[in-house]
Every structure is written in structure tokens, then in C-alpha cells.
Chain A
Amino acid sequence: TQLLEQSPQFLSIQEGENLTVYCNSSSVFSSLQWYRQEPGEGPVLLVTVVTGGEVKKLKRLTFQFGDARKDSSLHITAAQPGDTGLYLCAGDNQGGKLIFGQGTELSVKP
């Protein structure tokens, strides 16, 4: 069974701080996606990483895919209250389904 371990599960920080969310697995994925979800809404795609070692930047967010395509990280620089939400990593195993991590509930206080 493929699993994605996401950590931390909860993160409460002050505006301006930096943070990193980790997503780890013993399985190889063909690609990995990061989503952000607001309460009562569906996940919204932030980025897809495909190549081992790939780094993608989205404004203050930096995403990295591990060389072996088993793990990924999301780093947020100078967090803002608008970054508050549930961050989800999801691995694509080419069987059509996404394997989701448990999610990281981020709260950024002004």
C-alpha cells in the first residue's frame, strides 16, 4: 500500500516567519502535486512536480521534488495571514488515483 506521510499536521506561526512542510513516502511516484484547500471547498492545485530534483517557485512558495521521486517539500517564505489553509500533497501512481497525505493545517497570525 502506497502511503504519503505529511508533516507537520498542524502549524501555527506569526506573520513574517518561514516554514517548511514535508511529504515523504517509501514509494516512487511519477509526479507529485501540492494543493491548498479552504474550509468547505475543494482542493486547488498549486503545483505539479515531475522530475526528480525539480524545484518550482510560486511567488513566496518553493516546491522541491526529491531526487528519487519519493519525497517533496513546500517552503513558504515570510508567511502572510492569506497563506492560512490546509496544504495537501498528493502522489500520482499512474493507476488513476491520487494518494494524499494527511494534510498540514497552517495558521498564520497577524
Chain B
Amino acid sequence: EAGVTQSPTHLIKTRGQQATLRCSPISGHTSVYWYQQALGLGLQFLLWYDEGEERNRGNFPPRFSGRQFPNYSSELNVNALELEDSALYLCASNLWASDTQYFGPGTRLTVL
């Protein structure tokens, strides 16, 4: 069974640009979660999507947004990139909110 996949693996952008990160959940999983892992800050919850709806949001500014498609894949968009947005962005999926979350390999975003 294929795990959670994310693309691209690496992404380099400059300040002020927009970044789009993609995630495909494990087959059959309907919930997708996004986390940011910045150096020295640990994993911080960003967003939770289930059945196409945003269910919960972490303490991040509105320029972090996303969506979930009918096939349950998801996109994370970061607008007006800032240097401190440089981090590993991780996507996770599960069947329902209380189920174990399974993580993808992440997208390394570097903002220059």
C-alpha cells in the first residue's frame, strides 16, 4: 500500500513569491493535515481538511491557506513568502480525526 506522497521534494522561492505544495493521502484516507517543521521550533499544526472542508486551523497568518480536492488530495499555498517560512512542510493523513496520523516525507521550502 502506497504511503502519503508529497511534491515537490524541494522548493526554492524568493521573498514575496507564492509557493504551492501538494499532498496525496493514503488510499481510503479522507483527512489530510499540514504541519510546519521549522528549525528550532518543532512541528507546528497548520491545517486539517476532511471531506473537502477546513476543519481546524493552527496559529498561522491567513497567507497560509489550502484546499482539499474531491479525490482527497490537498494543496497548501503560502502567499507573500517570508524568510521565516523556510521549513520542512509535512502532510499527514488518516481515516478519521482520532485515528493515527501517517506522515509523508515532506517538502523542503527554502525562501531566499
Contact = CB atoms under 8 A, between A and B. Distances in A.
Interface of A: 30-31, 33, 35, 40-45, 48, 88, 90, 92, 94-103
Contacts of B58: 97
Interface of B: 4, 31, 33, 35, 42-45, 48, 50, 55-56, 58, 88, 90, 92, 97-98, 100-106, 108
A6 to B, nearest CB: 9
Contact of A98 (B55, B101, B104, B108): B101
A101 B108 contact: no
Given A43-B90, A102-B42, A97 B33 contact: yes
A97 B45 contact: yes
Given A40-B108, A97-B33, A31 B98 contact: yes
